[in-house]
Amino acid sequence: MGFPVLTRSRRGSEVNEYGKSLLQGARTLEALLSQIAEQVRLKRVGVSGPLRIGATPSMTLKFMPDLMGRVLQGVEAVQIHITEGLDDQLIPALQLGELDLVLGAASNTSLPGDLVEEGLFDDSFGIGVGSKSNWARRRSVTLAELKDAAWVVPGPGSAYRRHLEALFLTAGVPWPQNSVVSNSLALVESIVTLTDRVTVVTRLQTSMNNFWRMRVVPLRGGGRRTLSIKWRRADQLSELAIRVLGAAHELASGYQDAERRLARRESHNSSV
């Protein structure tokens, strides 16, 4: 390389910053070569793929099933791998070439320069409560009113958690100490409905089956987040990936229209 990639000491050798960049590139190249070999093998037997998609938990509840319903309609044979994970796991995997697409919350900070991101739709926040909760009959609520409440909150490692931390900070409300921490949305829903605890939810989360019948109270000042799809800038997307990208935008447009209609109804009901 013409320069050192290891730092030597009495304890042995450690990879320096140059070496780390070299290793990341090597891993990306290794993943790409493996994918190309798999593509050729599948093409010989008439299968499109493989396409490896990463998705955050809230995206796997409804959006991903709806998306796969569109993508797979009329397709004879494909191989698609779907991995659920948190942003801090999925983004590095995308950079290393272990994933081809990632669906999740849009980055609130600067996105790594080797990635491309396109917004899909906005998703508003509310407060999830059980049917017997004292908050269940409220038309709306603020975080300040819930500062002494018992909470269920997501764990660190996701854009969703960082967005909620920003909401609390903006509202001047300390991050909940009396809290159960879980990234399982199904578990969060069940705990909230079986106890007097509260949680922050989004429209997308509660548009699924909602088995436990969690109630959602509009959160004043809660705002919304943007959901997006990401891929590597240097990649030439496969036909299957382009199909997924197009279907994601079509589906997102329908989601956004439904969100606007629901917001108008809620605004009308609150004024009445």
pLDDT tens digits, residue range 115-130?
999 999 999 899 999 9
Tell me what the pLDDT averaged over the chain comes to. 88
pLDDT tens-digit readout, 43-95? 787 888 899 999 999 899 889 999 999 999 988 899 999 999 999 999 999 99
Name the band, by pLDDT with cuts 50, 70 and 90, for residue 97.
Answer: confident
Alpha carbon 54 to its chain centroid, in Å, reads 9
What local confidence, expressed as pLDDT, does residue 263 receive? 67
